[in-house]
Amino acid sequence: MTSAGRAALFLVVAWLLAAVAMLAAQGALVPYLAAVVPGSAVALTLRALVCQQRAPSILDRPRLPERYRVDDDLAQPIAAVVEASEAEA
């Protein structure tokens, strides 16, 4: 993070702390938190659900190349394994 980014972040945090102090001084902090916290929880839950649903399935992986499938099959003769590797190369 650059120094300008740190300064901007510090400024945003300072403004947020000032806003919280103003709400606390007016006695409106508790109603504000009662309204904002559930909404934030719902928004974060929905975001997590959407990210989970958009993630690729572990079942949709691409197939292995032929040389790996032949290499993994121990019943294949070594000549078939060499032939598959040479064909791939």
pLDDT digits (tens, 9 = 90+) for 25-44: 999 999 988 989 999 999 99
Judged against a pLDDT cut of 70, whether residue 84 lies above it is answered with yes
Predicted local confidence at residue 2, as pLDDT = 84
Predicted local confidence at residue 64, as pLDDT = 66
Q: What is the mean pLDDT of residues 39-55?
A: 93
Residue found by looking up tokens 């719902």 in the block:
42
Give start and end residues of each alpha helix (H) in the chain.
3-26, 29-54, 66-72, 78-88
Judged against a pLDDT cut of 60, whether residue 70 lies above it is answered with no
pTM: 0.46
